[in-house]
Chain A
């Protein structure tokens, strides 16, 4: 796997922001079409959350890039907490720029702020929008960004649906076109660039896989309805360090072991994903249905089907909600078929480890409520009942590890924006 630091683009984005600020001088307001709109603005968001659960030997994580989870009976403030700051700059009539930094627990266990967005946007007439830099891509139908807890009803995005997606931005560009079609609006968007995926492992190690992302997304909006079809391709170089394993598998002479080696032995891994979604949001009712699926060219990259359903109903300041999420790996973990002897055990273990690091077969039923304390602050409580089957989303410290388990996760949070 190709490794790359986040720091280089982060520094670049910071430099761009500083340069733009200098170029704009000290004026903080700009005349745009006779309206005196702010030339730059600073906004922020954050979530402070306490999380606990009851499953012995399990560490619960919010996503697979978190280095640490919360243990049984512990109350942890790190799992669901995060904060961010965003700077918007109006450059000219049709140009503006956005830089956003977020701090949360990363795969190295640190909370170092990272640039989650940093782009220049060109929009001549609102129908066409072109952005270049670090841009987010569309995987959230109702919330757009999972970092901003205040913007959605639930306490956290579904683990089953989003837990394996660790970085939802690309260093590249996107373009979207919006037009009236029939009674509603149709929007098409294409995006591409360099993306990455972080994974933290139970032994304290972590990897960052960097590859090429290409995707497209079609939305149709009519009153409270939004329908979406999205396609995503993620290509990344295979880890050269896997070569000795491939050689050893082929050297056994076993056809099954050789087939495993062939599946692992691509120069480039490719994952193709699709997402279908329908959301309804009008008046006090908010409902969401999502399907996600992915195929790949190697057993090292997961193939899965995911489902998510959510409904919430506002009653004054309260919005109680229910959700169900399911993720299922399409293929069983493949073995080498080699004889069960101590000399070949490391080979078998290595093949299993490659596959097990990205398993996500589990499902969750959640219930909770959001209470709006003010126009910029909310309070949430959520309880999740999760059935674990074969998953790396949690850290499993049981002896022996693996196998089904049930866990109840309880969390409370305060979200704010300014």
Chain B
């Protein structure tokens, strides 16, 4: 019995350690007045890669990106499309210099992104779950 308890305790410690090391998921947030409750992964890809920015509500999304270098930015694009920051930069060079689209508006940190989403019904941003507050709405969670 004692051996079983020790094994269970070790297992719990192992899970606890794994949780502590595992990075929090990235969440995609919008203004509560945006008129949308959720977005699919494909819709978020289309918005942040400049393919199509019309939201299901009919509004035109205004994506907000983090300035590079930024760990959340790198993780967001890695999780979303498995691309590195340099690949994203190369991708935008295609669109910008062919006059097709403009890259997302960039802000220095998550706090600024959240503040912009709070004040703009068209804004859409991504932040680490730890940066959330109650004045923005989560429409997609991207887990590692």
| A interface with B by C-beta (< 8 Å) | 33-35, 37, 43, 45, 84, 86, 88, 96, 98, 100, 117, 119, 121, 125-127, 131, 135-136, 142-145, 147-148, 150-152, 178, 180, 183-185, 221-224, 282-284, 314, 317, 372, 374-376, 378, 417
Docked pose: A145 CA to B81 CA in angstroms: 22
Is the pair B102, A35 in contact by a Cβ cutoff of 8 Å?
no
Judge whether B22 is part of the interface by a CB distance below 8 angstroms: no
The CA of A145 and the CA of B96, in the complex, are separated in Å by 10
Distance of A111 Cα from B82 Cα, bound (Å): 39
Give B residues with C-beta under 8 Å from A: 42, 45-46, 51-54, 60, 62, 64, 68, 81-87, 89-91, 93-100, 102, 105, 116, 119-120, 122-123
Contact for A282 among B54, B82, B90, CB less than 8 A: B82
Are B120 and A35 in contact, with the CB atoms below 8 A?
yes
Contact among B45, B52, B62, B68 for A33, CB-based, below 8 A: B62
Other 5 A-B pairs with CB < 8 A, given A117-B99, A126-B60: A84-B97, A100-B97, A125-B60, A144-B95, A283-B83
Residues of A within 8 A of B68 (CB): 375
Name B97's contact: one of A127, A145, A224, A375 (CB within 8 Å): A145
**Which one, B53, B84, B96, B119, contacts A34 given CB within 8 A?**
B119
Is there contact, CB below 8 Å, between B93 and A151?
Answer: yes
Contact of A144 among B42, B89, B94 (CB under 8 A): B94
Between A and B, 24 residue pairs with Cβ closer than 8 Å are A33-B62, A33-B120, A33-B122, A45-B97, A86-B96, A98-B99, A127-B54, A131-B99, A136-B98, A143-B94, A144-B94, A144-B97, A145-B97, A147-B97, A148-B94, A151-B94, A151-B97, A152-B90, A183-B42, A223-B42, A314-B87, A317-B86, A372-B86, A375-B89
Residues of A within 8 A of B64 (CB): 35
Residues in A neighbouring B83, C-beta threshold 8 A: 283
Task: Point out the residues of chain B lying under 8 angstroms from A35, CB to CB.
Answer: 62, 64, 105, 116, 120, 123
Chain A hits for B123, CB < 8 A:
34-35
**Which residue from chain B places its CB closest to the CB of A178 in the assembled complex?**
B52
Q: Return the contact of B52 from the options A43, A126, A142, A284 (Cβ within 8 A).
A: A126
Q: Which of chain B's residues have a CB closer than 8 A to the CB of A145?
A: 94, 97-98
Q: Cα distance A35–B83 when bound, in Å?
A: 27
